[in-house]
């Protein structure tokens, strides 16, 4: 979304106030609103140019975004894969993911996956293949490739469900700071056959075996980097 104010329009607004402090406050509020809605990858995806996760890790260290030796979960959008490294030297877990069907971005209600640097905000575990509704275990067990028949209170039919575990994300950059409020997180899925392709509503889907392993490896504060083009 673009908002343009001509010099003449701004001059008229400024002349309507005697206190320049009011103008500064107005400008800051307008900028904040624009930053929230304008979308993604302004800065997030363009900071890292690497084509492999070890090089991306090195760039994040060089940029001062992580410390050398930090554990890091990397979601590699172009190939719909993930890598977890406990120290930046080797990957101890990897596999396929599904990111947003509509691509990458941070616009609210866009069904896009945000980019940039995040940290794990929390971990919610259910039983193997248990459906998590509203981030809470429901008691229902669903197969990894079986459509759900659940209909919510608003009458919406949910064929895709969140299974097994949830890893909540908190955005650490201006371009992804609304990630938690958008309810975007990493989770197990009943759509495992679609892993390796963009298919989600914005969350990062993983196989149920991988999300279970990963949820035991990461903890609150673990950094997560999502790369995409």
CA–CA separation, 177 and 151 (whole Å): 31
Contact call for residues 42 and 207 (beta carbons, < 8 A): no
**Predicted pLDDT of residue 153:** 87
What is the pTM assigned to this prediction?
Answer: 0.80
**Predicted pLDDT of residue 4:** 43
Relative orientation angle of helices 20-37 and 7-15, to the nearest 10 degrees: 130
Residue 83: strand pairing partners = 74, 94
Averages of pLDDT over each 10 residues, the chain, 229 residues: 45 47 44 38 64 92 95 97 97 98 96 97 98 96 95 90 98 96 98 97 98 98 93
Contact call for residues 203 and 191 (beta carbons, < 8 A): no
**Predicted pLDDT of residue 44:** 74
**Predicted pLDDT of residue 94:** 98
Concatenated DSSP letters of 192-208: GGGTTS--BSSSEEE-H
CA–CA separation, 59 and 108 (whole Å): 29
Domains of the chain in start order, with CATH, are 7-37 (no CATH), 53-227 (2.40.440.10)
Q: Which residues contact 41 (CB under 8 A, 6 or more apart)?
A: 104, 105, 106, 115, 116, 175, 228
Q: Provide the token pair at 120.
A: 């794990």
């Amino acid at each position: 979304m673009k908002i343009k104010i001509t010099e003449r329009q701004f001059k008229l607004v400024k002349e309507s106030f005697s206190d320049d402090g009011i103008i500064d406050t107005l400008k800051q509020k307008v900028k904040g609103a624009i930053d929230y809605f304008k979308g993604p990858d302004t800065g997030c995806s363009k900071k890292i140019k690497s084509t492999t996760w070890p090089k991306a890790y090195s760039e994040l260290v060089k940029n001062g975004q992580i410390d050398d030796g930090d554990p890091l979960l990397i979601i590699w959008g172009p190939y719909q894969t993930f890598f977890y490294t406990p120290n930046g030297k080797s990957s101890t877990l990897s596999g396929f993911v599904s990111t947003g069907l509509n691509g990458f971005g941070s616009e609210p209600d866009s069904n896009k996956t945000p980019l940039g640097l995040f940290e794990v905000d929390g971990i919610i575990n259910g039983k193997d293949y248990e459906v998590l509704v509203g981030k809470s275990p429901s008691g229902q067990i669903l197969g990894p490739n079986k459509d759900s028949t659940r209909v919510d209170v608003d009458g919406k039919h949910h064929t895709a469900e969140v299974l097994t575990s949830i890893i909540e994300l908190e955005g650490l950059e201006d371009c992804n700071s609304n990630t938690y409020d958008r309810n975007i997180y990493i989770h197990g899925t009943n759509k495992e056959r679609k892993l390796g392709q963009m298919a989600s509503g914005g969350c990062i889907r993983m196989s149920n075996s991988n999300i279970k392993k990963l949820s035991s490896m990461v903890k609150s504060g673990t950094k997560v980097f999502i790369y995409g083009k």
